[in-house]
């Protein structure tokens, strides 16, 4: 049986749900990975600064 216009419209509408679903999945995973990486970078910078300050305190 040939698909009707209404079948085709339903499939196109479903396609949009499909793409939104995949966008949500990968945006969430990549967003979280990016946040973790940025927090790690900030913490490493803070450790470097604190170590420098600790060394400066020791020299005084």
Partner 1 sequence: MKRNSDRWLDVLGLATLVFIVAGLYMAFVYAQTEVNMGLVYRIFFFHLGSVAAGFFAITLVAIAGLAYLRTNSRAWDRVAEASAEIGIVFCTIALITGSIWAKPIWGVWWTWDPRLTSFLILWLIYIAYLMLRASARDDPRVARFSAVFGIVGFIDVPIVIVSARYWRAISPVLFQENAQGFTFGLTPEMIQTLVVCIIAYLLLFFYLLAQRVRLESLRDEIMAIRRARSAG
Give contact residues for partner 1 (rule: CB under 8 A).
10-11, 13-15, 17-18, 20-22, 24-25, 28-29, 32-33, 36-37, 39-40, 43-44, 46-47, 50-51, 53-54, 57-58
- Please, which residue, 1 or 17, has the CB nearer to partner 1? 17
CA distances from 28 to 2, 3, 37, 47, 60 (A): 39, 36, 14, 28, 48
- Please, which residue, 1 or 47, has the CB nearer to partner 1? 47
In whole angstroms, give the CA distance from residue 41 to residue 8.
49
């Amino acid at each position: 049986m040939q698909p009707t216009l209404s079948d085709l419209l339903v499939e196109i509408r479903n396609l949009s749900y499909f793409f939104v679903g995949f966008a949500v999945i990968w945006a969430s995973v990549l967003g979280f990975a990016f946040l973790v990486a940025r927090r790690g970078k900030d913490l490493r910078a803070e450790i470097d600064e604190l170590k420098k300050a600790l060394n400066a305190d020791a020299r005084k």
